[in-house]
């Protein structure tokens, strides 16, 4: 688990442009420049295995276009709908649609966002408690 102070540091580094200099790791995954276990690709999104899974099934659905978070102005509603539809498709393919799965979008550091490229978590394969966190 990443300590809150580290998350806040990452968030402020992002805000100051440090992450832009280093490059967005999710943009690099989408471009095939970083290795990842890819489960789905289309012209608008990529789905891959989370490297720090919190459930037996833990996938990330990312748009190919860099969007830092849901806080960005003019987030494409059609793209968001596509990401959710792909998440449901992946849940079916992974066999967790019947037992249940959770979709999560963390927005900014205090909510747990550590990579500032919009991404949707798909979690399942075990009982997920509420509240999360």
Q: Write down the mean pLDDT value for the chain.
A: 90
What share of the chain in percent tops pLDDT 90?
A: 78
Q: Which of 40, 82, 119, 121 is catalytic?
A: 119
Q: What's the pLDDT tens digit per position in 68-94?
A: 999 999 999 999 999 999 999 999 999
> What is the residue extent of each domain of the chain?
4-124
Question: Is 119 among the catalytic positions?
Answer: yes
* Residues facing 101 on adjacent strands: 124
Q: Which residues contact 110 (CB under 8 A, 6 or more apart)?
A: 4, 7, 8
Q: What are phi and psi of 27, to 5 degrees?
A: -65, -40
Choices 3.50.50.60, 3.90.950.10, 3.30.428.10, 3.60.110.10: CATH for 4-124 = 3.30.428.10
Residue whose C-alpha is closest to residue 24's, from 112, 115, 111, 106: 115
The widest CA-to-CA distance across the chain, in whole angstroms, is 43
- For the entire predicted model, the pTM comes to 0.85
């Amino acid at each position: 688990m990443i300590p809150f102070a580290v998350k806040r540091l990452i968030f402020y580094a992002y805000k100051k442009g440090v992450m832009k200099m280093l490059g967005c790791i999710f943009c690099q995954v989408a471009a095939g420049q970083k290795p990842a276990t890819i489960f789905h690709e289309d012209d608008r999104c990529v789905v891959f295995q989370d490297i720090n899974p919190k459930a037996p099934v833990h996938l990330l659905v990312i748009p190919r276009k860099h969007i830092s978070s849901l806080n960005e102005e003019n987030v494409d509603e059609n793209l968001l709908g596509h990401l959710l539809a792909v998440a449901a498709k992946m849940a079916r393919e992974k066999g967790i649609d019947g037992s249940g799965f959770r979709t999560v979008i963390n927005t900014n550091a205090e909510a747990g966002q550590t990579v500032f490229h919009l991404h949707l978590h798909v979690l399942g394969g075990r009982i997920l408690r509420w509240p999360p966190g």
